[in-house]
Structure 1
Amino acid sequence: MTTTETLSTQVCEACRADAPQVSEAELAELIKQIPDWVPVVRDGVMQLEREYTFRNFRLALEFTNKVGALAEAEGHHPGILTEWGKVTVTWWTHAINGLHRNDFICAAKTDALT
């Protein structure tokens, strides 16, 4: 079993406004487990982002719907931008304005949808 599979089999925990953001050390370790994801900072908020490419809009939309179903199942919702031939998914935890372990779990589960 790979480390990504380990992350993708975990379940998101309910996140409160006082939940801790991942530390720099945790970020460095967790990002190794989802190597296609990039940490980005937008409006001062650390987020995880990945762009997926597809042959056409229909396939991109099908993937978007899978990500939406995953988000509902986990109770954790990303930013999703669907365009012709690509989908950009951005995970972060709104309640803490940053990254939580849940974001890495959901990123790994998103990878498993492809």
Structure 2
Amino acid sequence: MSTLTEQKCEACRAGAPEVSEAELAQLIKEIPDWNIETRDGVMQLEKVYSFRNFKQAMAFSNQVFELAEAEGHHPGVLTEWGKVTVTWWTHAINGLHKNDLICAAKTDQLSA
């Protein structure tokens, strides 16, 4: 099995299967710093990245936007002074798809 960062998002549609509990338990090991949050019954992946100032936070946010466009999968991004909160989930299925884990892993690569 290839690592998450080596994979590409697949087209996702309404009715696509959510990631199974077993698959999530296995794949989350590749992104251990991400938290699983449930908002309004929707499971999401979330991580807060810290920066020294707003300019660095904005630069990182722009990298996340570029990643999102390249993958065709778009997160929630909250940019504040010294931090960026990134939240991945699949809107079409109101839950987590493997795409979310792939993008979370690739987001971590941006901050390395």
Q: For the superposition of Structure 1 and Structure 2, which TM-score range results when normalised by the shorter chain? A: over 0.9
Alignment of 1:52-91 (within 5 A): 52-91=49-88
Deviation by residue 1:3-34 (Cα, 9 ceiling, x = unmatched): 8x821111000001111001111111111110
1: CA distance between counterparts of 2:44 and 2:77?
A: 13
Structure 1: gaps spanning 5 or more residues: none
| 1:22-47 CA-partner distances (Å, limit 9, x unpaired) | 11111111111100101000010000
The alignment status of 1:39 with 2:41, answered yes or no, reads no
After the TM superposition, which parts of structure 1 deviate over 6 Å for at least 4 consecutive aligned residues? Answer: none
TM-score, reference length from structure 1: 0.94
Q: How many matched pairs?
A: 111
**Pairwise CA RMSD:** 1.2
CA distance in structure 1 between the aligned counterparts of 2:28 and 2:6, rounded to whole angstroms: 16
Q: Could you tell me which of 7, 20, 32 is aligned with 2:17?
A: 20
How far did 1:69 drift? 0.4
* Inter-partner Cα distance in structure 2 for 1:28 and 1:40: 14
Instruction: Classify the secondary structure of the residue corresponding to 2:14.
Output: coil
Residue equivalent to 1:107:
104
Deviations 1:77-107 (A, max 9, x none): 0000000000000000000000000000000
